[in-house]
Amino acid sequence: MQTLVLASTSRYRAELLARLRIPFSCARPDVDESALTGESPRALAQRLAEAKARAVAAQYPHSRVIGSDQVAELEGKPLGKPGTAEAALAQLAAMSGKSVRFHTAVCVISAAELLHALDLTTVRFRTLGQTEIERYVAAEQPLDCAGSFKCEGLGISLFEAIDNQDPTALIGLPLIRLAQLLRKAGYQLP
């Protein structure tokens, strides 16, 4: 079986992939994550997942590479990772009382094949007060997370509901879809 490489240095994605109990390594993809003019959040997530996988596959031509990307969508527009506390506060305030869609794409690539899948998760946010948004951002520092929250932590308290088929997708790597792709590629999973 080919060596498996995760095209990501995200600890969240690495922790998720480790659940499948398949040996893997991680490599940083060098990819511009800017959206193209007129590109939908769904298309952006798919393009970036494949671009990340291809970038790392070029470094590891005899390996099978997993690329993944997640794009949050609020009212038809993509939301990136906030990067700063101020941007996280603004994102959470904008999402207060609204539904946000998360497009999580995954791509598995080797020299012989390209497999891909997409998960859509919809999160309904509670109406959030400014003070509770500030407390949340100070407590969890979700600056490297699309949508400015960590659903696997305290961020779950910000929601009214989550609608999805794969709970791991919201964390950044849809394991149900990925396991399907890996089985199709010949990996033996339970």
What six digits make up the tokens of 28? 């940083």
Structural domains present in the chain: 4-184 (3.90.950.10)
**Separation CA 42–CA 163 (nearest Å):** 17
**pLDDT attached to residue 97:** 97
**pLDDT attached to residue 182:** 96
For residue 121, give the 3-state DSSP assignment: strand
**Separation CA 127–CA 43 (nearest Å):** 29
Residue type (1 letter), 146: A
Q: What is the sign, positive or negative, of the torsion defined by CA atoms of 138, 143, 144, 150?
A: positive
**pLDDT attached to residue 48:** 97
Positions marked catalytic = 69
**pLDDT attached to residue 87:** 95
**pLDDT attached to residue 23:** 95
Rounded to 5 degrees, φ, ψ at 131 are: -65, -40
- For the question of whether the overall pTM of this predicted structure is more than 0.85, the answer is yes
**pLDDT attached to residue 75:** 94
Please give the chain's pLDDT, 190 residues, in tens.
689 999 999 998 999 999 999 999 999 999 999 999 999 999 999 999 999 999 999 999 999 999 999 999 999 989 888 999 999 999 999 999 999 999 999 999 998 899 999 999 999 999 999 999 999 999 999 998 888 998 888 999 999 999 999 999 999 999 999 999 999 999 988 7
8 Å CB contact between 158 and 125: yes
CA angle 143, 179, 140 (to 5 degrees): 15
Number of Cβ atoms within 10 Å of the Cβ of 59? 14
**Separation CA 104–CA 171 (nearest Å):** 9
**pLDDT attached to residue 13:** 94
**pLDDT attached to residue 16:** 96
What's 155's DSSP letter? G
